[in-house]
Amino acid sequence: MIFRDFGMDTASLAGSLENKLAAIRKAGFAQVMISAADIVGHPGGAAAGARVVRASGLKVTGLEALRDFEGLSGRLHVYKVGVAKSMLEVCAALGGRVLLVEASTSTHADASEDAVARDLRKLAMLALPLGIRIAFKGVSWSRTVKDFAAAGDLVFRAACPNLGLAVDAFDVLTARTPLDDLEAIDPEQIFLVQLSDYMWHELQSAEEEVATATHFRVFPGEGAHSDDLARFVRALDDIGYCGEYSFDVYNDDYQQMPVETVVDRARLAAEWLAETVLRRALPVPNMERLRRPPHPG
């Protein structure tokens, strides 16, 4: 059951959607975060991609990611509402219950809290009949919503029951966000937690931070900040978070490695988190454990 708390992200793996899902399942994961590009990029079309996901037996954590949605006006707003509706329809077709939304980094966006909250409320309303929750995430290079505390303020202001937070460990690590800030967050409002680490000890510039976030993340336990990451996960556990964890590892190297090798690293990360960090995996009868895939040959 505990291992069911952790899911992989299709964006971490190279190759076809079918291969990614099969590898994730074989490694023992029960759920998967789906990157929209994997669905619409399926050779058989989006509907075929959705069927593949539904047939995989994996629970869909959610769909990612809608970006630069809020704070726009006029035609730009209408355009983004169309994009959002399309992503919500894909999410519903997958049976996904969460759409990940990253705070706008656009300089064209109105950054006023009222405008952002109004648009988030509208997005949540669009998602509501489909049974989808909006997980809103601060982005460290956003002009206004840089972290989960700022995102939490906006979610509170927008006040819609299916609007909550996504918290990304990477942002917490790079910004050195005090973990006390988590105590101000209602754990029920956290719809998704994303976990990853990175190899550098220090990020020298904003540019390096963006490049690292999008190209050089590694799985929990593999990076240079394992202790901080462990403290972060324990702090979440302490405030009562019992939702899902997803490994959002975007790494160019992993795109050049066989999926079996990458999912093996993800499995080690899940084991480290469950057994060493959270210390809650064993021994409980009938509890599912991640099983090492049988050795070839």
Partner 1 sequence: MTNAMDREAVPEPLNPLGIDGIEFIEFATSKPQALGGVLELMGFRPIARHRSREVELYRQGTMNIIVNSQPADVPRTVQPVETPVISAFALRVRDAEAAFRHALDLGAWEIPVRALAMELNIPAIHGVGESLIYFVDRYDEFSIYDVDFRAIPTVDPHPPALGAMSFFGIVQYIGADRTADWVEFYRQLFGFTPLPDAVRFGIMPKGLLLQSPCRKFYLQLIEPDDTAQFAPADEHLQRIGFGTPDVLATVAVLEQRGVEFLTSDKVRTSERGALTKARLGSVMFELVHAEPAPAAPSR
Instruction: For residue 22, state whether it binds partner 1 (rule: CB under 8 A).
Output: no
For residue 123, state whether it binds partner 1 (rule: CB under 8 A). Answer: yes
- Interacting span for partner 1 (CB under 8 A) from 12-20, 128-136, 250-258, 284-292: 128-136
- Least distance from partner 1 to the Cβ atom of residue 24, Å: 22
Q: Which helix (H) or strand (E) holds 60?
A: strand 59-67
100 binds partner 1 (CB under 8 A): no
Strand partners, 102: 67, 137
| Cβ burial, residue 256 (10 Å; 0-12/13-18/19+) | exposed
Answer for which of 90, 124, 167, 218 binds partner 1 (CB under 8 A) is: 124
**262 is written with which tokens?**
């990458």
For residues 174 and 146, is the Cβ–Cβ distance under 8 A? no
Binding residue (CB under 8 A) for partner 1 from 2, 27, 99, 160: 160
Q: Which is nearer to partner 1, 33 or 123 (CB)?
A: 123
Q: Does 285 bind partner 1 (CB under 8 A)?
A: no
Site for partner 1 in 53-92 (CB under 8 A): 85
Alpha helix ranges (H) inside the chain: 17-26, 36-40, 46-55, 74-94, 113-127, 148-158, 169-175, 206-215, 226-239, 259-271
1 vs 125, which CB is nearer to partner 1?
125
289 scored as a contact of partner 1 (CB under 8 A)? no
Q: Is the CB of 118 or the CB of 146 nearer to partner 1?
A: 118
Number of residues that bind partner 1 (CB under 8 A): 13
Residue 257, C-beta contacts closer than 8 angstroms, at least 6 positions apart: 14
The answer for residues whose C-beta is within 8 angstroms of residue 202's C-beta and 6 or more apart is none
Residue of 40, 46, 115, 128 that binds partner 1 (CB under 8 A)? 128
Determine the residue type at 106.
S
Report, in Å, the least distance between residue 123 CB and partner 1.
7
Binding of residue 126 to partner 1 (CB under 8 A): yes
DSSP state of 43: T
- Select from 75, 71, 63 the least CA-distant residue to 101: 63
Stretch that binds partner 1, among 1-9, 126-134, 165-173, 272-280 (CB under 8 A): 126-134
Choice from 67, 122, 157, 280 touching partner 1 (CB under 8 A)? 122
Between CA 264 and CA 174 the distance in angstroms is: 26
Q: Which residues make up the interface to partner 1 (CB under 8 A)?
A: 85, 121-126, 128-129, 131, 160-162
